[in-house]
Amino acid sequence: MKTRVFVTLKGGVLDPQGKAIHHALEGLGFSGINDVRAGKLIELDLADGTSDEDIDAMCSKLLANTVIENYRIEKIG
Amino acid sequence: MKSAVITFPGSNCDRDMAVALEQASGVKPVMLWHRETEIPAGIDLIAVPGGFSYGDYLRSGAMASRSPIMAAVKEAAARGTYVLGVCNGFQVLTESGLLPGALMRNAGIHFVCRDVALTVENNQSAFTSLYQQGEQVVFPVAHHDGNYVADDAVLDRLEGEGRVAFRYAESVNGSARNIAGVLSDKSNVLGMMPHPERAVEAAHGNVDGVRMFKGLVEGLMATA
């Protein structure tokens, strides 16, 4: 069972990497970029029947630091 | 004072920390590998050193904070054992929940490696007792992820409870309220980005760190 976990910085948290990417895109001549936020995509290949609770615990215990990050779980079968 | 220094794969300040502790206490620290599951009996202080544990994979300190030895460090801290986390050690302590907040990428993106001035904000802890309140000291910093972040309620609580031990005298990495080091609620755990163990010998060009280790030896001998 393939599952994707998207980890993103919480709204109010400054994202220095996003800012640098933003700056670099503008340096390449792209315009109209309002904001850039960088995050992580973690792909898990899980045994069938892995419970939602376990997947959520994987996220909250390790994959995301919930002090500064949010996570979203997407099952792709 | 009997101390232990944790070594993770990728730690690189563990030996510097051991030298500083031995110099101050006269006793060689016990070196503990990350796979150990117990802190030996009689240890007064556990040092979590700087470096790039587990290659900073996932987040700085994230993997190390889930290693077997850290469960033992958490138990020891709960019993009142003193814990000092420096640089990556501070990141490990926030990731493990022993200290509040998180350490993010420096606001200016750059790795910062230089001497910085700090103000001693609280000299009532065992870590800071030999410094004057409000004194300015200089410690080296060397980090990429030293930008201390916590929500306003947490920051207000830390300030109100005197748990900000050190504050940068200038903006270094974007840290909230220029916080450089924080204490736990019982003041037995200190995490800080600057390196006191790199300022303990004349050859380092700076001995401001000596008083932290001497203070710990005096304070922990008195309670033993």
Residue B222 has pLDDT above 80, yes or no: no
d(CA A41, CA A47) in angstroms, rounded, equals 19
Mean pLDDT of chain B, nearest integer: 96
The pLDDT score that the predictor gives to residue A12 is: 85
Instruction: Report the C-alpha gap between B194 and B208 in whole angstroms.
Output: 12
Report the pLDDT value the prediction gives residue A14, as an integer from 0 to 100. Answer: 86
Annotation marks residue B144 as catalytic = no
Taking the C-alpha atoms of residue B93 and residue B77, their distance in angstroms, rounded to an integer, is: 11
Task: Indicate the residue of B94, B102, B106 with minimum beta-carbon distance to A16.
Answer: B106
What is the model's pLDDT at position B223? 63
DSSP B78: H
Q: How confident is the model at residue B75 (pLDDT cuts 50, 70, 90)?
A: very high
pLDDT, position B92 = 98
Domain that holds residue B75: 3-223
Residues of A with CB under 8 A from a CB of B: 13-14, 16-17, 19-20, 61-63, 65, 67-68
CA angle B68, B197, B181 (to 5 degrees): 75
Q: Which residue of A has its CA nearest to B58?
A: A63
Phi and psi torsions of A41, nearest 5° = -115, 125
Interatomic CA distance for residues B65 and B67, integer angstroms: 6
Domains of chain A: 2-75 (3.30.1280.10)
CB of B21 closer than 8 Å to CB of B3: yes
A-B C-beta contacts closer than 8 Å: 37
Residue B221 pLDDT grade (very low, low, confident, very high; cuts 50, 70, 90): confident
Count the alpha carbons within 13 Å of A46 in the hemisphere toward its beta carbon.
22
Residues A50-73, mean pLDDT to the nearest whole number: 97
Residue B9's pLDDT is what?
97
pLDDT at B224: 53
Query: Which residues in chain B have their CB less than 8 angstroms from residue A63's CB?
Result: 58
Range A41-53 average pLDDT: 96
Q: What CATH number has the domain bearing residue B196?
A: 3.40.50.880
Domain tally, chain B: 1
Residue pLDDT, tens place only, B34-64:
999 999 999 999 999 999 999 999 999 999 9
- Convert the pLDDT of each residue in B102-159 to its tens digit: 999 999 889 999 999 999 999 999 999 999 999 999 999 999 999 999 999 999 999 9
d(CA B196, CA B178): 18
Q: What is the pLDDT of residue B51?
A: 97
Q: What is the per-residue pLDDT across A6-23, written as a single tens digit (0 to 9) for each? A: 999 999 888 988 999 999
B201 annotated active-site: no
Taking only the tens place, the pLDDT of each residue in B159-213 is 999 999 999 999 999 999 999 999 999 999 999 999 999 999 999 999 999 999 9
Nearest of B114, B127, B116 to residue B210 by alpha carbon: B127
- A chain contacts of residue B62, beta-carbon cutoff 8 Å: 62, 65
Confidence at residue A77, expressed as pLDDT on a 0 to 100 scale: 77
Answer whether A67 sits within 8 Å of B104, measured CB to CB. Answer: no
Helices (H), chain B: 14-25, 62-65, 68-79, 88-95, 152-160, 210-223
B60, B67, B149: best mutation site toward chain A, by most A Cβ within 10 Å?
A: B149
